[in-house]
Amino acid sequence: MIETIDRRLAFVSVIVTLLSVVLVIRLVTLQIQLPEEEIAFLERMRDDSYHDLRYETPARGEIYDRYGYLLATNSLEYQVGISPALIANPEDVLAKLAAAAGRDPVMLWAQWEEQDAAGAYWYPLAGGNVDLATGQTIEDLGLPGVELGPIQRRFYPQSTLAGPVIGFVSLEGQGYYGVEGYYNQQLAGRVEDSASRESNIPFEAAYAPPPQPGANLVLTIDRDVQFLAEGYVRLGMETYEAENAMILVMDPRTGEILAMAASPGYDPNQYGLYPAESYVNPIVGSIYEPGSVFKVLTMACALQVGIVTPDSMYVDEGMIEVGGRKIENWDKRAYGQQDMTQLLVRSLNVGAAKLSTTLGPSRFYPCLEDFNIGAPTGVDLEGEEAGRLKKWGDPVWSESDLGTNAFGQGVSVTPVQMLTAVSAIANQGLLVRPHVIYQQVGVDGVFTAQPQYLGRPISEQVARQVTEMMINVVEYGAPKAKVPGYTVAGKTGTAQIPTPGGYEDGTSIASFIGFLPADAPQVIVLVRLDRPNESIWGTQTAAPLFSEFAQRLVVLLEIPPDATRYNLQVQAAVQE
């Protein structure tokens, strides 16, 4: 009996051994005969990063205005993938897929034949991604060999509002221009590399931690003020027949930019429909010669150094020669005895040139540099230009520049740079860095931006003196810039437009910079009109546009009129 059992066990062992040998040979044969491209495909499938590259990306941070209105978010689409090897009846599957996805069945069948003939293991559905609802419909069908993967797409619910400020995100997930470009790293989030965690067990998914979402950004931009500014940009272009226009609004105390509007703008949802030059925000990325608005900086430098006081007098003869170049007043007139306030009120080129030449290059240019002229402000938007300030000793500098630079000719600035410089006058002599981010909210915590100061170009006393002069400019030199109920300090500019052969005839860049309330400024505003046909003069175009805009702005920001503020101050003093 025992011998019978032993014989049977031996027989079974032999059979098992033979079968094992056959299976091993078969496995070896299959491995040898497996095409190289299939082996490569299986190796890619083994690596979970193959799927990560297509589907698993961290959620990009959202962007809000200062009051929580959504400016940029993410929409979900689905990429539809087809694996031919898993589909036994392609005619039926493709017909159902075409109906669900709203695609041409002939197109899908042509794509199938092309991909199948090429030996494709997987390919994306022709016609691009599908929306969320369509993706759900396809998923409910449960079609074999058809898989769906979620894809993020950037969505801007406010459409064109603040488009150049926000920027856009490409299909590859890279932010460009504006906030999207400057803060791309913070918004994009992080994906930890799983390569170091790969397992040696075939087809076992490597461990990868979940993607870390990007930080949300809260801007200093006020959606309502931005909407108002964009409306007045369009109004200014229509009213004064200007080629382009822009309005910039900032709090001079903190550097917070409340609105940044420029034409023509674009819709970041459809950035591909616009020319590339539309993406550049001209307020930070284009330079121009500012013209007479620059005179307030020249005056501030002269007062700061001490070569004049507000009551100092000079004789305006209507012409001065600097470095062999004759400089005349804008109206070709001579004004005789003038004090420093009258110089600014009448916007006299000759008087400004007298100040700069008296200062000399060794004192004039360092003072302009203290106002950050010729250097980027550091505003947190992609694409900022630095402007251009030719200085004493530069190969391209000539003595005549000392005279013309005094009234904003031969020197180039960006609008944000010019506004920032003048904001030091409004901010008691302190130069604050402009910025558009108020808060960053992410997994690492909440970070709130604090004012950053670029320096103190002038003293508090000089700032008050120039402010008083600018109040007189509005009162007597540019009355169309007045805002009923508020004291405004400001200065106009009418700048010639340089060309390779000199300056354009009969046209200008008209501008106005003003802040209010003048004694306790809460906002500073730049208005600029390029090549206005109605009038070339800033007093006739930019100044009245500023007034109309500011009258609406003070209501939006709830800035009380001067009389109301004074009464409240008196009441508070009495109660104390």
CA separation, residue 398 to residues 278, 288, 322 (Å): 35, 20, 10
d(CA 529, CA 236): 7
pLDDT for the residue 236: 97
d(CA 420, CA 451): 13
pLDDT tens per residue across span 161-203: 999 999 999 988 899 999 999 999 999 988 765 554 444 444 4
Q: Phi and psi at residue 465, in whole multiples of 5°?
A: -65, -45
The three-state secondary structure class of 126 is coil
Average the pLDDT over 101-123 and give the result. Answer: 88
Instruction: Give Cβ neighbours of residue 93 (< 8 Å, ≥ 6 apart).
Output: 87, 143, 144, 145, 146
pLDDT tens per residue across span 10-51: 444 544 454 444 444 444 433 434 344 434 433 433 343 333
DSSP 213-239: PPPEEEES--HHHHHHHHHHHHHHHHH
Domains, the chain, ordered by start: 78-148 (3.90.1310.10), 223-269+291-572 (3.40.710.10)
Q: In degrees, to the nearest 5, what angle opens at C-alpha 479 toward C-alphas 336 and 341?
A: 35
Mean pLDDT of the chain: 88
Residue 256 per-residue DSSP state: B
d(CA 72, CA 228): 20
The helices-and-strands tally (H runs, E runs) of the chain is: 20, 23
Structural tokens at position 338: 């003038």
pLDDT for the residue 150: 80
pLDDT for the residue 31: 43
Alpha helix segments (H runs only) across 347-502: 349-359, 361-370, 399-404, 415-426, 460-472
CA separation, residue 205 to residues 48, 265, 437 (Å): 6, 47, 40
d(CA 520, CA 463): 12
pLDDT for the residue 349: 98
pLDDT for the residue 212: 86
Average the pLDDT over 302-311 and give the result. Answer: 97
Residue 472 per-residue DSSP state: H
pLDDT for the residue 13: 52
pLDDT tens per residue across span 362-404: 999 999 999 999 999 999 999 999 999 998 888 999 999 999 9
Instruction: Give Cβ neighbours of residue 405 (< 8 Å, ≥ 6 apart).
Output: 294, 356, 364, 368, 389, 390, 411
pLDDT for the residue 192: 67
Structural tokens at position 166: 């926000």
Instruction: Give Cβ neighbours of residue 376 (< 8 Å, ≥ 6 apart).
Output: 384, 385, 386, 387, 417
* Higher-pLDDT residue of 238, 575: 238
d(CA 37, CA 120): 10
CB 217 within 8 A of CB 187: yes
Instruction: For strands 319-322 and 325-328, give the pairing.
Output: antiparallel
Average the pLDDT over 146-173 and give the result. Answer: 91
d(CA 341, CA 343): 5
pLDDT tens per residue across span 412-431: 999 999 999 999 999 999 99
pLDDT for the residue 194: 52
The three-state secondary structure class of 384 is coil
